[in-house]
Structures are given as structure tokens and as C-alpha cells.
Chain A
Amino acid sequence: MTGKLLVLDNIRKNFGAIEALKGISFSIGKGEVVALLGDNGAGKSTLVKIISGGLQPTSGRMLFEGEEYQAKSPAQAKDAGIETVYQDLSLCTNVDVVGNFFMGREITRKVAGIPILDERAMETITRKALTDAGTRIPSLRTKVEHLSGGQRQAIELNRFVHWGGKLVLLDEPFAALGVEQTRRGLDMIRHVANQGIGVVIITHIMQQAFQVADRIVVIRHGVVAGDVERSKTSPDAVIEMITGQTLAGAGPASG
């Protein structure tokens, strides 16, 4: 298991009497794109929240870059280099585009010892990041509440591309995007992975998973039902893993 970015070892999570995760183990390599698939309620979002510090696992352990890792808050996960794009967008719609892009990471300059927001510097960087990604937003000083769903999602995606880190978790990032924007989003993911950043993407759309992922991990009823390289499987086989028509036989041993 050398060269692995994140290793999950027997992660369990109980909500009261309900076992959401019953011992999840898999790993993500540097520069690798892993598509996490599974039916509704399979435990994908719970798993993402555990990695990103939003939830604590009931038991099990994680190794991040070979070291014991356990985030108690999203802030700790970010400090470790793990970025997350959530299913329900994490934007403050009452603040402008620049403010959202730099949320929690504002550039400041000291005036008499007091940190003052450096709006101009932040606007320049935001404009460059958005232009590079081909996202068009008329005014960066518009409050996000006035933007369309697609534009909002584009801001989130550009934010993770810009901040990068070491591992990126994407929880259904393309739900509100059009065809062209989705294609661009998938390109973005490849671009990020090529820089050596690990990517975990949750999606419901088989086609997207096969377009972008190196490896496909299927979760079913809180356990890993399949962990296969993309090139060695087919959409039909994956669907069977998701719905449970074949058991763990589709895993790496036989794949």
C-alpha cells in the first residue's frame, strides 16, 4: 500500500441503531480519480462527510499520506489538504462572487495591526481563476443569489480547482450543470488529477463515471460491493454491483 494518498480501513458509522457504514475499506492513490457509486442511501454521502470532517466514524481508521488521519472539523480536513464540494451547494448567496471564492481564506493586509480585506487582490485572482476555467459571470461583485444554478455550481467547482490541496471530494458536483458545463467540469477533474491530486467523485450517472474515473468503487448497504479498474469493467457489470445482482465477485480479485 505504498504511494497511497488516503487509505480507509474498516470504517463504520452508526446513527443510533442504524448501521450506515458497515466496514468500508478502500484506498485512493495520488492523481487517481475514483468514482464512488451506489444507490440512494448506500452511504456514499456519509462516507464523504467522514473524510471531510463533517462526521466522526464510529470505528475504523484512516491513513492520509501514510499517517493516521481523523478530522474533527472541516477546518482540520482543509488544513490537511482535503477539499470538498457538497451536493447542496456551500455558497453564501448574500455575499458576492469574490467573497464566496475566498470564503474562510480571505486575503488581508495589516493596517495598524488590524487585518483588512484586500478586495482588489481577491477580485483579480477570482477573475483569473474563473476566466481560466471558461466560466462567464458578468460581474464578480454580484451577489450569488442573483446567479443561475449553473453559475453557482461553476463557482464551487472553480473554487476547488483553484485551492486544490491534495485530495478533492466531489459529492454529485454536476447536478445543476448543462451539457457543455458538465463536459468542462469533467475536463477540470482530469486537469486536477494530472497535477497529482486525488479525486473522489460521487455520481449517479454511469456515463460520467466511465468518462472520468480510473477506478470505480461501488457501495451497497454500507459495504464495498465492488472495487474495479474502469478498463476492466463495463457499465452493465457496475449496475449489477449497485443493484446487488452479483456479490463481491466483481471485486479486484476476479477483476
Chain B
Amino acid sequence: MTSQTRKILEFVLDNLVWFMLAFVLAVFSALIPNYFQTGIFTNIIEASSVLGVMSIGLALVIITGHMDLSVESVAALSAMAVGILFCSAGIGIGIKLSPEWLMVPVSLLVACAIGALIGFFNGFLVVKLKMSAFIITLASFIWVRGIVLAISGGRSAQDLAPAIRWFAIERLLGIPLSAWIAIACFLLFSVMMAKTPFGRHLVMIGGNETATFRAGIPVNRNLILAFVMAGAIAGLAGWLLAIRTSGATANLGVGLLFNAFAAVVIGGISLKGGVGGLPGVYAGVLLLSSINTAINLMGLPANYTQVIHGLLVLAAVLLDMFKQRLRARLA
């Protein structure tokens, strides 16, 4: 095999999910009437903003070789906090700030701070007490959702302050600002992972924690930071969720965790840690979103989406195995 073909093959393997996305979009556009139009594509991007943001946090932690199952509940709690503080109907207490735009940074700060706090709690237990991240964050997944139910009493908050709602309504190039926030997050964290020492160290910790410790990298600090980031990003996802639904309900975002999981795995992030990048995750999110849109357009019962997502995750894991074998042969 010449080095030229090898390089091309490596490139295709590294960016396989983008090719899959292009393929799926092409097939849907050809076969499903009305699929090929700008409105549909902006809709796909818009629908993937909350899931996309949440997947970033999950991916960060999985890359270090750990796990964060709590992101969905954390997002729900942040959304509920924003809902209670800044909604004027239901259980919302409708705090008004002047000037009005001040509500944007304050609500954002509240959402991210709640997430970061829970992330710190998770990270501290995992790193300092050496407990399994799977168990710790499973517990958080449950108790954080419990808090959401407790503080809301099962009721909902509606009519989010218009100053915050603005992000879901205002559009730039046909795409709502909330989706631009997701895209900006992907860019920001992709750069962090690929170009900064901190990101490089997270990848290395996922590959060989002992080696990074011996090399003098502050492993514990970096791991806790990764959990804090995952929490804060989940908080941001919750903020976007509250904006999109103009409030919060007690069961807001249920099931998002598994979609985020699917997106991360489809995006080429290996569950054993140390492998994969964030751009692929965004492609994974867009892929899921395009398939959802196709199902909607074809008029299939929405229940089928879950079956298809499940099969997609399976396919992604199989693909990952296949890719690893192929790489081993390339080397």
C-alpha cells in the first residue's frame, strides 16, 4: 500500500461520521419528498442544540476514561432553577431585573454554577475516594432528578422572561441564536481538546493514567476539572432547554442521556477512553437529528425513533471495532 492511499484511508477513518452524515443526508434528500430544503436543514441544526451541548460534557469525561451519567438530571435541575427564578406563570416566581438583559448573564450563571457544583461533587468522589464514576454519577443521575421533582412538586414553570427567550427567537443566517451557542461551544471545546496542553493531558489520562502521573501531570486536578466542566456544560444545556420550552417541567429532558450517549459513541469516542474528538460528536448529534427529522417527515410513529437510535448505537460500536482492526492492519 502506498503512503498516499494510506493517508487517504486514515483520513476517511478519522472522519467517518462526517461521511456517514453526508451519505444519510443525500439518501434522505433523494428519497423523502420535501426533505431537501433549507428549512429542514436549519431545523436539524436547531433541534440538535441542547443534545449537542450536553454531548460535549459527556464526551469530555468519557475521553478521560471515566463516565458521567448525571448530565441529563443536571440539565433538568438547571432548567428548573432558571424556570422557577425567571418564569412568571406556574411555579415561577418571576424575578425581574433591570435592565432586562441582566437576566441573561444571571440566569446563565445560575444554570452553569449548579452544574459545576454537582460536577465537582462527582469528580471529588471519583478522584479522591477512588469510587467508580459509573456508580457515583448513576447516584447523581437519580438524586438530582429527585431534587427537580421535590422543588417543583411535580408542577411546571411557564412563560420565561422575554429577555431570555430572545435567544430562541432571534435568528442569524436563519439559525436561532441558541443553536449558534451550541456551535460556538463545539468550536471552543474542540480547540481546547486539540490545541491546549490541558486538552492534550485529558486525552493522555484516558490513554494511560499511570504514565501521565509519572510524567508529572496533575492527574487528579485535571480529572476533577473535567467533571466540573461536564457539569457546567450540562447546566448550559439545561439553560438552552428552558429557553426552548419557555419554562421547565419536572420531567424535562428525560431520555436525553441516552441520545447523548448515542451521539458520543457514533461520533467516534471510544468508551475505553483516550480516543476521539469533539467535531465527530457534533456530526453524531446532527446525524441523530437528521434521522429524527426523516422519521417525522415520513409520518412514522415517533416511537420508532428509539428503535433506530438503539440500532445506531450498536452499529457505531461495531464500526468502532471494525475501524480498530483496519487501523491495526494499516500500521
- Please state if A99 and B214 are interface contacts (CB–CB under 8 Å): no
Kindly list 17 other residue pairs between chains A and B, CB separation below 8 angstroms, not including A92-B207, A103-B215: A54-B214, A73-B216, A74-B213, A75-B217, A79-B216, A90-B211, A92-B204, A92-B208, A95-B200, A95-B203, A99-B204, A103-B204, A103-B212, A104-B215, A116-B195, A145-B331, A146-B328
List the 7 closest pairs (A to B, CB-CB), nearest first.
Answer: A146-B331, A75-B216, A94-B207, A104-B215, A92-B207, A94-B274, A90-B211
State in angstroms the CA–CA spacing of A94 and B275 once bound together. Answer: 7
Assess whether B206 is interfacial by the CB under 8 Å rule. Answer: yes
Residues of A within 8 A of B208 (CB): 90-94
Assess whether A86 is interfacial by the CB under 8 Å rule. Answer: yes
- Please state if B217 and A103 are interface contacts (CB–CB under 8 Å): yes
Assess whether A84 is interfacial by the CB under 8 Å rule. Answer: yes
Residues of B within 8 A of A117 (CB): 195-197, 200
Assess whether B210 is interfacial by the CB under 8 Å rule. Answer: yes
Assess whether B154 is interfacial by the CB under 8 Å rule. Answer: no
Residues of A within 8 A of B213 (CB): 73-74
Q: State how many residues of chain B have any CB contact under 8 Å with chain A.
A: 25
Look across to chain B and name the residue whose beta carbon is closest to the beta carbon of A93. Answer: B207
State in angstroms the CA–CA spacing of A117 and B204 once bound together. Answer: 14
Assess whether B39 is interfacial by the CB under 8 Å rule. Answer: no
Measured CB to CB, the residues of B under 8 A from A are 195-197, 200-201, 203-204, 206-208, 210-218, 274-275, 327-328, 330-331
State in angstroms the CA–CA spacing of A75 and B327 once bound together. Answer: 34
State in angstroms the CA–CA spacing of A113 and B75 once bound together. Answer: 30
Nearest CB on A from B23, distance (A): 27
Of A73, A74, A104, A146, which is in contact with the most chain B CB atoms at under 10 Å from its CB? A104
Look across to chain A and name the residue whose beta carbon is closest to the beta carbon of B209. Answer: A92
A-B contacts counted at CB < 8 A amount to 78
State in angstroms the CA–CA spacing of A185 and B10 once bound together. Answer: 33
State in angstroms the CA–CA spacing of A17 and B231 once bound together. Answer: 43
Residues of A within 8 A of B217 (CB): 75, 103-104
Residues of B within 8 A of A104 (CB): 201, 212, 215-217
Nearest CB on B from A103, distance (A): 4
State in angstroms the CA–CA spacing of A146 and B214 once bound together. Answer: 22
- Please state if B200 and A90 are interface contacts (CB–CB under 8 Å): no
Assess whether A108 is interfacial by the CB under 8 Å rule. Answer: yes
Residues of B within 8 A of A52 (CB): 214
Choice from B211, B216, B218, B328 contacting A92 with Cβ under 8 Å: B211
State in angstroms the CA–CA spacing of A92 and B212 once bound together. Answer: 8
Measured CB to CB, the residues of A under 8 A from B are 52, 54, 73-75, 78-79, 84, 86, 88-95, 99, 103-106, 108, 114-117, 142, 145-146
> Looking at chain A's contact residues, is the secondary structure mostly helix, strand, loop, or mixed?
loop
- Please state if B214 and A86 are interface contacts (CB–CB under 8 Å): yes
- A-B contacts, 20 of them at CB < 8 A, read A52-B214, A54-B214, A74-B214, A75-B217, A78-B215, A90-B214, A91-B211, A92-B204, A92-B208, A92-B211, A93-B207, A93-B208, A94-B274, A95-B204, A103-B215, A104-B201, A115-B196, A117-B195, A117-B197, A146-B327
- Please state if A114 and B214 are interface contacts (CB–CB under 8 Å): no
Look across to chain B and name the residue whose beta carbon is closest to the beta carbon of A99. Answer: B200
- Please state if B197 and A115 are interface contacts (CB–CB under 8 Å): yes
Nearest CB on B from A136, distance (A): 16
Look across to chain A and name the residue whose beta carbon is closest to the beta carbon of B218. Answer: A75
Residues of B within 8 A of A54 (CB): 214
Nearest CB on B from A55, distance (A): 12
State in angstroms the CA–CA spacing of A78 and B274 once bound together. Answer: 25
State in angstroms the CA–CA spacing of A54 and B219 once bound together. Answer: 14
Of B208, B210, B328, which is in contact with the most chain A CB atoms at under 10 Å from its CB? B208
State in angstroms the CA–CA spacing of A142 and B214 once bound together. Answer: 22
Of A92, A116, A142, which is in contact with the most chain B CB atoms at under 10 Å from its CB? A92
Nearest CB on B from A78, distance (A): 5
State in angstroms the CA–CA spacing of A33 and B69 once bound together. Answer: 51
Residues of B within 8 A of A106 (CB): 197, 200
- Please state if A108 and B197 are interface contacts (CB–CB under 8 Å): yes
State in angstroms the CA–CA spacing of A146 and B152 once bound together. Answer: 54
Nearest CB on A from B87, distance (A): 37
Residues of B within 8 A of A95 (CB): 200, 203-204, 207, 274
Residues of A within 8 A of B327 (CB): 146
Nearest CB on A from B135, distance (A): 25
Nearest CB on A from B238, distance (A): 27
Choice from A79, A84, A93 contacting B214 with Cβ under 8 Å: A84
- Please state if B206 and A94 are interface contacts (CB–CB under 8 Å): yes
Residues of A within 8 A of B197 (CB): 106, 108, 115, 117
Nearest CB on A from B323, distance (A): 13
State in angstroms the CA–CA spacing of A88 and B213 once bound together. Answer: 14
Look across to chain B and name the residue whose beta carbon is closest to the beta carbon of A90. Answer: B211
State in angstroms the CA–CA spacing of A75 and B222 once bound together. Answer: 14
Also in contact, A78 and B216, with CB within 8 A (given A94-B275, A116-B196, A117-B196): yes
